[in-house]
Amino acid sequence: MTTFTIEAVRKFEDLVEHVDRKPGDRWEVDDKRFKAINSTVYGELARKVAKPKGRPTKAELVSEAEALGVDVPEGSTNPEIWKLIEEAR
């Protein structure tokens, strides 16, 4: 399951995560959840955040690895984590 970052564009109550979202709040969702958020009668509540160009951060790599079910050893370098991700795909 691939996730991405979205940002609230309007204030709304997130009934799934039980959180009041404010404009500017950012969090990770999958495509199904993103579509559900914006399929209400209230219109567009959140937008995808453009992914910055360049190399991913260590936190982004670890997050992606964990989403794939990969256990990342402490002290792993970015290239090592990337290799684990590639092997898991």
Q: Give the pLDDT confidence score for residue 88 in this predicted structure.
A: 86
- Domain assignment present for residue 53? The answer is no
What pTM was computed for the model?
0.57
* 35 and 67 share one domain: no
Coil vs helix vs strand at 28: strand
Residue 69 within a domain: yes
Q: Which long-range contacts (CB under 8 A, 24 or more apart) does 6-15 make?
A: 6/34, 6/37, 6/46, 6/47, 6/48, 6/49, 7/46, 7/47, 7/49, 8/45, 8/46, 9/44, 9/45, 9/46, 9/47, 10/42, 10/43, 10/44, 10/45, 12/42, 12/45
Same-domain status, 10 and 30: yes
Same structural domain, 17 and 38: yes
Q: How many domains is the chain partitioned into structurally? A: 2
Q: Is 74 inside a domain boundary?
A: yes
Query: Could you read off the pLDDT of 21-53 as tens digits, one per residue?
Result: 999 999 999 999 999 999 999 999 999 998 767
7, 34 contact by CB (below 8 A): no
**Which domain does 8 fall in, by range?**
3-48
